[in-house]
Amino acid sequence: MDIFYLTSAILLILTAYIFRFISILPFYRTHPNDRILTAHKGTNGPLHIFVFLGSGGHTGEMLRILQNYKETLLNQDNVLYVGYSDIDSRNKFSKLLQSACKVEYIEFKKAREVNSGLLASLKSIFLTLMTSLLNVIRIRKSIAFKPHLILLNGPGTCCILVLWFKLLEWILLFSSSSNIIYIESLARINSLSLTGKIVYWMADEFIVQWKELELSCAPRAKYFGILT
């Protein structure tokens, strides 16, 4: 009898996690047409936003996105968690921020350096996996069950961040959605970036900035014109 109850409990737990896994897949969920604009409508309390600044062009694009949607994203009541992998990106964000919203800076290691070899990339990716997990747990704890948005746009580290956020969403059966938006780089016109190809299968909302890219490579993607 004890074995029967134990087996039943295990099957029940496995079933719950299978349904949970299916429920968090972006292909089986419905979303508003533009999460950036609608994430805070009809909610109470400040909007908690996590953004990640890569470096160079990725940082420039993210800063333009924040500036273009500043009334929603940089509202003084919001709480921003700003991940960065180089100090220049953090300094550029500090210059952009003119509102009085609360900001918390979180440093991440780069997933890989540009033009790095296979072994060097594997080593840096492994280190980033280990060091980023604690940061993601901390962020997830801060934004859970609150109006929130995770906004990403291209650096390789985004793959690791999305993986951890989705894994935690799956493990924590009754947690709120990660609410991840990924915006593909403006430079990607005819094909997705490597990061985009990976994140495409996990992000809650996948946005491209060229209609051609939506039609040819990313049928699940949303197109709202040029955002950056």
Average pLDDT across each block of 10 residues of the chain; the chain has 228 residues. List them in order. Answer: 79 84 72 47 75 86 90 88 90 80 86 64 76 92 91 88 93 85 90 91 91 79 85
Question: Does 145 lie in the same domain as 80?
Answer: yes
Tokens representing 97 are: 């921020």
Q: Which two tokens stand for residue 6?
A: 């134990």
Which has the closest alpha carbon to 83: 61, 116, 112, 50?
A: 50
- Do 189 and 137 lie in one domain? The reply is yes
73 lies in some domain:
yes
For residue 42, the model assigns a pLDDT of 47
**What pLDDT does residue 33 have?**
44
Report yes or no on 90 lying in a domain: yes
Is 151 a member of any domain?
yes
pLDDT confidence of residue 99: 65
CA of residue 213 relative to chain centroid, distance: 20
Predicted TM-score (pTM) above 0.85: no
In-domain check, residue 228: no
Angle formed at CA 199 by CA 35 and CA 45, multiple of 5 degrees: 30
Dihedral angle computed from the Cα positions of residues 149, 153, 156 and 162, in that order, rounded to the nearest 10 degrees: 20
Say how far apart CA 123 and CA 126 lie, in whole Å.
5
Give just the sign of the alpha carbon dihedral 214, 192, 30, 46: negative
Domain that holds residue 22: 1-30
16 and 94 inside one domain: no
Domain CATH number, residue 73? 3.40.50
15 and 47 housed in the same domain? no
What's the pLDDT score for residue 115?
60
Q: Whose CA is closest to 37, among 149, 201, 114, 198?
A: 149
Q: What is the pLDDT of residue 143?
A: 92
Total domain count, the chain: 2
Q: Are residues 78 and 160 in the same domain?
A: yes
Classify residue 28 by its DSSP letter. Answer: G
